[in-house]
């Protein structure tokens, strides 16, 4: 038995799946037309981590380790701050032109 051309059309095997997908799309479009949803309000303003870290470093007047900056920023903000947000803000502050922060050595920063 020869299989010439048996696999030439890759969509033959997927026709039932494509029909179901097309029907689902049509149903969803009808539902959206009958019951339109209102846009959600904007999420609350994100904590100004960058400004908080800037204040911490300005008030310290000495280079600080990133962990110290994190603790001091939480105290100043009066709420917990994500460690990843603090690290991202420190990285953004060193990459900014002009620099907000200067990396003194690994994990230690001061105002730029």
pLDDT in tens, 35-61: 988 888 887 665 589 999 999 999 998
| Residue in this structure with the two tokens 């904590």, named with its chain if needed | 47
Instruction: Judge if pTM exceeds 0.75.
Output: no
Of 97 and 110, the one with more pLDDT: 110
Q: Among residues of the chain, what percentage have pLDDT more than 90?
A: 57
Domain presence at residue 83: yes
- Total domains in the chain come to 1
Domain presence at residue 1: no
pLDDT of residue 8: 60
92 band by pLDDT with thresholds 50, 70 and 90: confident
| 3 state DSSP class of 102 | strand
Domain presence at residue 2: no
Domain presence at residue 27: no
Q: For residue 13, what are its two tokens?
A: 């095997």
Task: Note whether 92 and 51 are within 8 A (CB).
Answer: no
Domain presence at residue 81: yes
CATH code assigned at 89? 1.10.10
The span from the CA of 83 to the CA of 91, in Å, is: 12
pLDDT of residue 61: 86
Determine the distance from the C-alpha atom of residue 3 to the mean position of all C-alpha atoms in its chain, rounded to a whole number: 50
pLDDT of residue 80: 93
Phi and psi angles of residue 11, each rounded to the nearest 5 degrees, phi first: -85, -10
Average pLDDT, the chain: 86
Domain presence at residue 58: yes
Domain presence at residue 78: yes
Domain presence at residue 32: no
pLDDT of residue 39: 86
Once rounded to an integer, what is the mean pLDDT over residues 7-31?
82
Could you tell me the residue range of the domain that residue 71 belongs to?
49-111
| Residue in this structure with the two tokens 């204040």, named with its chain if needed | 55
């Amino acid at each position: 038995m020869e299989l010439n051309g048996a696999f030439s059309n890759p969509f033959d095997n997927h026709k039932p799946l494509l029909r179901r997908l097309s029907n689902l799309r049509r149903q969803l479009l009808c539902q959206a037309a009958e019951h339109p949803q209102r846009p959600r309000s904007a999420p609350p303003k994100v904590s100004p981590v960058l400004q908080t870290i800037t204040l911490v470093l300005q008030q310290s007047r000495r280079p600080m380790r990133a962990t110290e900056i994190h603790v001091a920023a939480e105290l100043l903000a009066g709420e917990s701050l994500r460690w990843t947000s603090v690290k991202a803000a420190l990285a953004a502050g060193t990459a900014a032109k002009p620099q907000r922060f200067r990396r003194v050595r690994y994990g230690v920063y001061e105002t730029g």
